[in-house]
Structure 1
Amino acid sequence: MTQLAIIIGYLLLLLGLGAAASKFSRGTSRDYLLASHSIGPVLLLMSLFGTTMTAFALVGSTGKSFQLGVGVYGLMASSSGIVHSLCFFLIGVKLWKLGQRHGYTTQVQFFRDRLGSHRFGYLLFPVLVGLVIPYLLIGVLGAGAVVNGVTRGAFAEAFANSGHGVPPWLGSLVICLVVLVYVFAGGMRGTAWANTFQTAVFMVLGVVTFVVIAREIGGGESFLESLRGATSRVLEAHPEKLVMKPPKLFFFSFLLIPLSAGMFPHLFQHWLTARSASTFKLPVIVHPLFILIVWVPCVMVGVWATSAMVGGELVFDEPPKNVNTVLPILLGKVAGPVLSGLLSAGILAAVMSSLDSQFLCLGTMFTNDIVLCRRGDAAETDDRRVVRMARLFIVAIVGVTYLLSLGEPAGIFDLGLWCFAGFTGLVPLVLAALYWRRLTLPGAVASVLAMVVTWLTLFLWDMGGYPPDPKYKFLGMLPVATVLAVSTIALVAVSLMTLPPSDEVLAKFFNPGSGRDETMSDAPGLPD
């Protein structure tokens, strides 16, 4: 019960943080949704990193490395840091400048203006929401798995079907409610504060987790001896986990997954909160280092778990049915009640630091892209009403996601690959909108439709549907390669076959001097 008490205490602390952030609110919808563009370099770094480090990175990577071995780091993390920073630099800074210049709050507003079509927003909005739902599902499943894994055996008689621990459905429900409360109370400012706090928590406790598990499994007098001991046991029992030689095309297709960050709606909203363009410098430089600090321990712990022994007995006699529980179960076995409770709180911090941004982003998109757009005059809408509508839509989407989580659990890593494949398929659209003058409305429509049709075809027909088939290959590659290729070809081909955009649109988005203001003058070397 100690672990459960610590987790509850941590959740109460987060609620207090949200309440404190609400005291600084300016009472406007813009402050609630964008924190009045007041976020500095450190908060932006922690917000962006905390948002991208989901249950996919912590819970999912550990479970997948338990299955496949150390090569999981090479497949995902080796490229994620660099590609994410490139997205911040090439896409984030440009979109921030355009957002400052033209007052954008969401991606859909930008694309409507760039393509000269309000109807395009009604196509893009449901696609983005549809892709965010499985992204939310990753976090909800991860939260339930963590709470269940670390509290197993806490109840003598109750919850026998869940190992006498908190059932995943209950853990997921509580985490969703807590995140909803502090997002509702603090808005974007509360989310940024919580992200910063939780990112610091899970990075510090993540390193502590790595050290504790290494010492308990490796058994050495020093940390380095423990590392060698833990790895030598894997070498004896499962040497295949320390070597991975994936086919070249398969490995290449993994490099495309991190591109998805360029079209995450919640990242777009975080980019807009920046105080100035120079605020992006710290995230661009430091983000890859943070990726390394988080991913290396998670992958190594998953590999060690395959042969880990505590008290002379294997921690896992056989692979668990739900690989999402590998990390929390291992924690419960090797760490004491207090330490395992603290470390589990750190894992939950990573999960919630992405859920909160996604929750708030969904509300922003709904109010700005659907409600206010349909009314035609946002100025006449009361700010309190805007915030209330945002909250209602958030609750509806979270409810749908939670209901989906009650079904057959999917592997978080596999589900993440499918979710990110869809976002990657939209990256050609944002790159063309920012850098290619010849992009046309029909080309953009063709690209989005091509992505949706290809994604659904591969997911529902060829790959076996939900939960995703862990073999997930098409033409020797991940589906993301096919989705990206088809959407790119459709965009370029249709754009070239249709009339180019008007000179007015080109002047608005490609004239370096148009609308420049003093807030942009402090970013030498950043792209215009």
Structure 2
Amino acid sequence: MNEALPGVVAVVVVTVATLAIGTWGLRFSRTTSDFMVASRTVRPRLNASAIGGEYLSAASFLGIAGLVLVRGTEMMWYPVGWTAGYLVLLVLVAAPLRRSGAYTLSDFAEARLQSRRVRALCSVIVVLIGWLYLLPQFQGAGITLQATIGAPRWFGEVVVPAVVLVNVLAGGMRSITFVQAFQYWLKLTALLLPLLALLIVWLGDGAPHPVDATGAGPDPTAWALPLAGGDGQGLYLTCSLIVATFLGTMGLPHVVVRFYTNPDGRAARRTTLVVLTLLGLFYLLPPAYGALGRVYADALVREGRSDVLVLELPRIMIPGLAGDLLTALVTAGAFAAFLSTSSGLAIAVAGVLGQDVTGRPVGARRLSGVAAFRAGCVIAIAVPCLLALLVPGVGVARAVGLAFAVAASTFCPLLVLGIWWRGLTTAGAIAGLLVGAGGSGAAVLWNLSTPPGDRWGSVLLQQPAAWSVPAAFVTMWLVSVATRARVPVDVHRFMVRLHTPEQVPLERGQLSDSPAGG
């Protein structure tokens, strides 16, 4: 049997299943609210599975295992932070954000501060974060199909955007909810079953413990240290990574939009609790692949191909048909990861573009809500697809980590202060967003164009969150205090709306679901 054939079948099956479920979901999508937030009717268990499907991206499925292989246990802060970020979101943001009645982060900003300028700035940042996050998804798809079925790298970078575009155009958020819920359980199965087989092989052949192996990555002592060697730079990188992942989750547009799909604030909290369980279960698996790779796949480190560890380890450890079939299953999970995360990001970016770009009048003509959303979706996917084809490949987890840093430096201060502090002003919000976006954005550009270095200036730019997040918070607070006379006049009414459970009756109109905040 051609060893690529099972992988080809796996990719085709996942693609067909994705399109079939998305087409089925089209029956329920009619209005703009259906396309953008599923008319706020998604129940917690379904929504949690869908969030798990879109949140567990290429960085989770492929990147973590490769990072653990190369750099050791310090990289396990990625899954810890990505999971704990939902705990922070649960405590500070989930229920009030749902009660805001917004469709997008831009809607929330405008409703809270009554400012079109803040809305416009938020829209730009949402689009940039979305594109930065989509880039590694598409490039990861190219790497996966190249490694498993021998396809040229551009093939995966085109196929995934095409499938996502068809699915999102067909039914928007309603269709994608069903697709992503299916894809979470597929990804979990695709990692769990092969891992069980690999562990049986490892236990049976007397191979050394990963901590005792010396063939791959750093020496055993350094590989087992969780703080990057324990020196000043390593400690800074770890702390900055924790800040980015803990606080960046609440600022990711495709994560936040999911909480607008819940029926009420209580459902949003329940959804988050289930998500924590699902993510915790999944993130037990990739580090185990990284540890086994240290014993069996040191060649991937020498070749600079650590991102394909999950895909190639089954064939390395189990030659023959069994290894090919396990590789096909892992390939199916990886392909599902690209499709599900890309779909969520496409909807988040398309929602903003549909409201603020394609939905605006051009002369005497103006696209309807659904048509504007679909036009925005084309733009949302086309730009990162072109970038994936033109820009050299970047580390999957590294690029996603930078997206978290940007989100933590911009929308985290805006949401925390906007929800919990009455004194936030338009001037303060704009100043803080510009400082956070400027600092983290400069770091992104530096990382994408310059190899990592060992000087402190280079280290500070590798992981900017430790300084860019405090700078954004302090700037937003100081400028707001200096312009306290400009606090929105109806801030008290909006804060009551955010913090009052839906079961408590308020004055008429207070709980309207309009994006402008009622």
Pick which of 178-187 and 435-444 moved more: 178-187
Distance apart, 1:501 and its partner CA:
4.2
Deviations 1:354-411 (A, max 9, x none): 1111111111111223454669x9xx967xx322222222222322211211221111
Which whole-Å CA distance do the structure 2 matches of 1:136 and 1:518 have between them? Answer: 38
Which whole-Å CA distance do the structure 1 matches of 2:124 and 2:497 have between them? Answer: 32
Q: 1:317 to 1:175 in 2, by over 3 A?
A: closer
Question: Could you say which residue in structure 2 is the equivalent of 1:167?
Answer: 152
Code of the residue aligned with 1:72 in structure 2: it is M
Q: 1:512 to 1:166 in 2, by over 3 A?
A: closer
Which whole-Å CA distance do the structure 2 matches of 1:503 and 1:176 have between them? Answer: 41
Code of the residue aligned with 2:339 in structure 1: it is M
Code of the residue aligned with 1:250 in structure 2: it is L
Code of the residue aligned with 1:433 in structure 2: it is G
Q: Aligned ranges for residues 8-407 of structure 1 at < 5 Å?
A: 8-25=12-29, 27-73=30-76, 75-99=77-101, 104-151=102-149, 165-219=150-204, 231=210, 234=213, 238-240=219-221, 241-246=223-228, 247=230, 248-258=235-245, 259-308=247-296, 316=299, 319-333=302-316, 334=318, 335-372=322-359, 385-406=368-389, 407=391
Q: 1:318 to 1:59 in 2, by over 3 A?
A: closer
Q: Secondary structure at the match of 1:273?
A: coil
Which whole-Å CA distance do the structure 2 matches of 1:81 and 1:340 have between them? Answer: 27
CA contact (8 A) 1:65 1:71 kept: yes
Q: Aligned ranges for residues 459-498 of structure 1 at < 5 Å?
A: 459-460=444-445, 463=446, 465-466=448-449, 469=452, 474-475=459-460, 478-498=463-483
Deviations 1:164-221 (A, max 9, x none): x01221012111111211122121111110110000111122211221222334435x
Q: 1:519 to 1:67 in 2, by over 3 A?
A: farther
Code of the residue aligned with 2:464 in structure 1: it is P
Q: 2:401 aligns with which of 399, 403, 417?
A: 417
Which whole-Å CA distance do the structure 1 matches of 2:11 and 2:505 have between them? Answer: 43
Question: Could you say which residue in structure 2 is the equivalent of 1:455?
Answer: 440
Could you tell me which runs of 5 or more consecutive residues in structure 2 were left unpaired when the two chains were aligned. 507-518
Which whole-Å CA distance do the structure 2 matches of 1:470 and 1:5 have between them? Answer: 42
Which whole-Å CA distance do the structure 2 matches of 1:476 and 1:448 have between them? Answer: 18
CA contact (8 A) 2:43 2:263 kept: yes
Distance apart, 1:47 and its partner CA:
1.8
Code of the residue aligned with 2:137 in structure 1: it is G
Code of the residue aligned with 2:195 in structure 1: it is F
TM-score (norm 1): 0.84
Pick which of 268-277 and 501-510 moved more: 501-510
TM-score (norm 2): 0.86
Which whole-Å CA distance do the structure 2 matches of 1:191 and 1:317 have between them? Answer: 35
Deviations 1:284-328 (A, max 9, x none): 3333333332223212212321330xxxxx672752334322221
Which whole-Å CA distance do the structure 1 matches of 2:334 and 2:450 have between them? Answer: 23
Q: 1:36 to 1:520 in 2, by over 3 A?
A: farther
Deviations 1:47-76 (A, max 9, x none): 222222111112111111121012311x22
Which whole-Å CA distance do the structure 1 matches of 2:12 and 2:462 have between them? Answer: 43
Percent identity, aligned pairs only, is: 20
Pick which of 275-284 and 366-375 moved more: 366-375
RMSD: 2.9
Q: 1:4 aligns with which of 5, 8, 23?
A: 8
Which whole-Å CA distance do the structure 2 matches of 1:172 and 1:8 have between them? Answer: 15
Distance apart, 1:91 and its partner CA:
0.8
Q: Secondary structure at the match of 1:511?
A: helix
CA contact (8 A) 1:306 1:316 kept: no
Which whole-Å CA distance do the structure 2 matches of 1:481 and 1:513 have between them? Answer: 29
CA contact (8 A) 1:250 1:476 kept: no
Which whole-Å CA distance do the structure 1 matches of 2:505 and 2:183 have between them? Answer: 30
Aligned residues: 485
Distance apart, 1:470 and its partner CA:
7.3
CA contact (8 A) 1:37 1:275 kept: yes
CA contact (8 A) 2:289 2:309 kept: no
CA contact (8 A) 1:32 1:186 kept: yes
CA contact (8 A) 1:447 1:490 kept: yes
Q: 1:371 to 1:516 in 2, by over 3 A?
A: farther
Which whole-Å CA distance do the structure 1 matches of 2:51 and 2:488 have between them? Answer: 35
CA contact (8 A) 2:23 2:170 kept: yes
Pick which of 473-482 and 104-113 moved more: 473-482
Distance apart, 1:485 and its partner CA:
1.7
